[in-house]
Amino acid sequence: MYRKEESMPQTTSTPEHFPCELISWERFDELAQQLGDKIVADGFVPDLIIAIARGGYLPARLLSDRLGLFDLDCIRIEHYQGIHKSLQARVRYPLSAEISDRQILLVDDVSDSGDTFEVALKHLKQKGSAAAIRTAVLHHKFTASYRPDYRAVELREWCWIIFPWAVLEDLRSLLARMQPTPNSIDAFAKLLKQRHGLELSPGQLEAAFVSVSPDER
């Protein structure tokens, strides 16, 4: 249920209270445009954009529009929980495009731990000798071990980023973590405000609440 790169704190080892930031579609569009402007200002001209799925899909699509580049591919990298509950990244679906002698822009939504970018870059090196590889991200957290070349926003204080395409997924994850389990939508909304500083629409709250079975809560 967790997104591939952003690592939600584990219930058994961290406080139940941690900050979240909800990104609107309008704000996402602003961030993507800012990111594209930085790439243009730097003078880097890619001839292939590679999205790190799933979070990099939409940022990469908007960047392709901003840069006037329509050669777009993706790789799927996911995290899984190992024996010791530590998050590890692996390539689930490899890249299909040819990258030798090409200018590559590798795109994701958030750099949290940094290991997704590191795994992706290692994978690209195994696929061929690109002329250049640059990395771009909407949100870069200073907790990350890898610093992307282009960053729309840099976060010095850690928080969980909720992107507009993952609202229900993340709300379901937050709901599943809550102890005691809220028994109503109003109780769920109250806990989101108290523990994570989140205020959402009634429709978003209801869609998340009813999609999680009582056994999962």
Structure confidence by residue, pLDDT tens digits, 144-163: 999 999 999 999 988 999 99
Do 147 and 181 lie in one domain? The reply is no
Average pLDDT over residues 119-135: 94
Do 154 and 178 lie in one domain? The reply is no
Q: Is residue 8 part of a domain?
A: no
* Residue pLDDT, tens place only, 173-186: 888 888 888 989 99
Domain of residue 145: give its range.
22-161
DSSP class of residue 164 equals: G
Q: How far apart are CA 180 and CA 75, in angstroms?
A: 38
Under the banding of pLDDT at 50, 70 and 90, the label for residue 13 is: very low
Longest CA–CA separation in the chain, Å: 57
pLDDT on residue 32: 97
Quick one: what percent of the chain has pLDDT higher than 70? Answer: 87
Q: Is residue 125 part of a domain?
A: yes
Residue 121 has pLDDT above 50, yes or no: yes
Q: Is residue 144 part of a domain?
A: yes
Quick one: what percent of the chain has pLDDT higher than 90? Answer: 65
pLDDT on residue 119: 92
pLDDT on residue 118: 93
pLDDT on residue 80: 52
Do 154 and 204 lie in one domain? The reply is no
Do 157 and 170 lie in one domain? The reply is no
Do 80 and 101 lie in one domain? The reply is yes
Q: How far apart are CA 187 and CA 214, in angstroms?
A: 14
End position of a domain, from candidates 137, 161, 185: 161
Per the structure, the count of domains in the chain is 2
Do 83 and 157 lie in one domain? The reply is yes
- Work out the mean pLDDT of the chain and round it to a whole number: 87
Lowest mean pLDDT across 53-67, 68-82, 92-106, 153-167: 68-82
Q: Which residues contact 133 (CB under 8 A, 6 or more apart)?
A: 104, 106, 121, 124
pLDDT on residue 192: 95
More confident residue, 213 or 25: 25
Q: Is residue 14 part of a domain?
A: no
